[in-house]
Structure 1
């Protein structure tokens, strides 16, 4: 992890080209940014402004409703771990609840899907509020940003020395969550964390936000601002490496620690956490661990069990169920904040 002071910008237009050389050139840029920073902006992503505007309008309408209305779709009701997340429901690295509310939407899976029948957590249907046009707007955005994630995953495959389609079969019905996150206005909470310091659990994240607040930890223990950016009228996505890409590269690509600081303006953000199917076992690729000695640092756990174990340790309603013995952590579950550069973080917070 380098001493970067800003995030690089990568034009990913070439990933959509029929020319293999153009795709390879973008992959080289992706690999460099993943190794040296772990966070970067992308342009040329192809997501229409109208699609983004529709999502924002749907989120604003949703969160304007009163708490009782939203709690009827609480994330803890039913199966699948999807729906409304009230403020104060999540605890990350700060040891304090996060100051935000959210609505979690996942890859849609019917009740007769084999993964649902197998009882995989995080897989199932979504909770759709009774709002005209909401599902249509959010579904359309999810489809577009998930397709972009597939294209980026092919770019990462090339960057890791694989065939560009090497990972395609690992993504059929994944626990890839889209979060609609709302940070209410609170002028007295400017210095409180919106989301405490953490890494993302999946392969990588695609993020849009409308206000500053995101900060990324560099190799010197400094917090670097990563505000929303626009180039030639195009909103840029922020992409960051997650825990599973760190495992695949045996730590050469680090799941960079980040946080959201509270800002005075109302803030919306929309991360899509791109994951492989629940049962996928992630291991260091041979190219990054030729002697097979680094695999011992990564316990035998599926990507889904890793995500579920993090949820069990983060969401208040799940933590309560674990404490009551109703749920248990998967075998080989890691504690939270064990990826990324949390030793560097501890040093930064002492200074």
Structure 2
């Protein structure tokens, strides 16, 4: 590892905001102008707000309502759709199932929705049919939001490619049936919970980038000076952050940014869409970006294998399968916290 500062990020105290409406323009010059703003935010901060995304307030509100209805169910009812019985790592995640960071139990529950891949060809450990609950309207409303958010993801993939001086389709050509996961997360408010027990511990996201819709404050981001910066809500905006895979693809120009959710001061729902490439995409520094040697060298990772390896290391049901010899770690598996600030 380098002896230099642990992050290329600036000592930012607020997040930049980029209006991405221009990414949907037919004028490449307009798209390029927005891409330059995205690139600066990705290099200096690794986190940003976006507006002009085109996802309607109605779709967003229906997503929140479906989550509120589902998580209000009794635990036994929710556990009928436990993630450990799914084919593509989808379903209900009870509190205590998942551990990140220092191993503390996160104070949250979730429902995970993956790319609903129905074909028998190309099945992978995290690519297959989604386990949908029997809650009225859940599949219809959540799927509608998922598709709208994927449309935003495709625009951002094109924008980040332009920001790296690549062809506009350099990334989207690898995004056809991606294991991009939408998490519906519920952070219940508990006044008696220990003050040092987080909603979720410090980590980087595994995929290329994340599109986040939160309903309440609580998110904190680690800046280049090693300080935790609060991320307040911004009206009609998504929060975007760079993940492990885009750090690798960009040869370290963009750095995966560590973040956490502190003990919440009110009930909080959070909806991150983790945007990935296709399962078998080789994640390595893109050839045209390797002329400048980064502070660290990156090994080649297969997109889906990296996701699977990280998931095995954080979910109890997969850890137990690994211990029983039912599954094995993929080739070139990396430890959690291998990228971004913690990786350095």
TM-score between both structures, scaled by the size of structure 2:
0.94
- Matched residue, 2:49: 41
Does the aligned pair in 2 maintain the 1:84–1:102 contact within 8 Å? yes
Deviation at 1:299, TM superposition (A): 2.3
- Matched residue, 2:158: 154
Alpha-carbon distance in 2 for matches of 1:143, 1:255: 25
Matched residue SS, 2:240: strand
Does the aligned pair in 2 maintain the 1:284–1:294 contact within 8 Å? no
Does the aligned pair in 2 maintain the 1:10–1:41 contact within 8 Å? yes
User: In the TM superposition, what are the counterparts of 1:239-254 in structure 2 within 5 Å?
Assistant: 239-254=240-255
1:126 to 127, 130, 148: 130
Alpha-carbon distance in 1 for matches of 2:256, 2:239: 14
User: In the TM superposition, what are the counterparts of 1:18-57 in structure 2 within 5 Å?
Assistant: 18-57=26-65
- Matched residue, 1:312: 312
Matched residue SS, 2:60: helix
Alpha-carbon distance in 1 for matches of 2:266, 2:119: 40
Distance 1:326 1:341, change over 3 A: same
Deviation at 1:168, TM superposition (A): 2.1
User: In the TM superposition, what are the counterparts of 1:98-177 in structure 2 within 5 Å?
Assistant: 98-112=106-120, 114-116=121-123, 120-177=124-181
User: In the TM superposition, what are the counterparts of 1:74-113 in structure 2 within 5 Å?
Assistant: 74-112=82-120
Q: Structure 1 stretches (4+) deviating beyond 6 angstroms?
A: none
Once the two structures are superposed, residues 237-266 of structure 1 have per-residue CA deviations (whole angstroms, 9 ceiling, x without a partner) of 000001011001221210001111111211
Deviation at 1:96, TM superposition (A): 0.8
Once the two structures are superposed, residues 318-345 of structure 1 have per-residue CA deviations (whole angstroms, 9 ceiling, x without a partner) of 111112222111111010001010178x
Matched residue SS, 1:239: strand
Alpha-carbon distance in 2 for matches of 1:195, 1:175: 22
Once the two structures are superposed, residues 23-59 of structure 1 have per-residue CA deviations (whole angstroms, 9 ceiling, x without a partner) of 0000000000000000000011111000000100111
- Matched residue, 1:347: none
Paired residues in the alignment total 335
Matched residue SS, 1:130: coil
Once the two structures are superposed, residues 61-82 of structure 1 have per-residue CA deviations (whole angstroms, 9 ceiling, x without a partner) of 0101011111111000031111
- Matched residue, 2:257: 256
How large is the RMSD of aligned CA atoms in angstroms?
Answer: 1.5
- Where in structure 1 are there 5+ consecutive unaligned residues? 345-351
Matched, 1:200 2:208: no
- Matched residue, 1:327: 327
Matched residue SS, 2:334: coil
- Matched residue, 2:196: 191
Alpha-carbon distance in 2 for matches of 1:27, 1:19: 13
Alpha-carbon distance in 2 for matches of 1:3, 1:58: 38
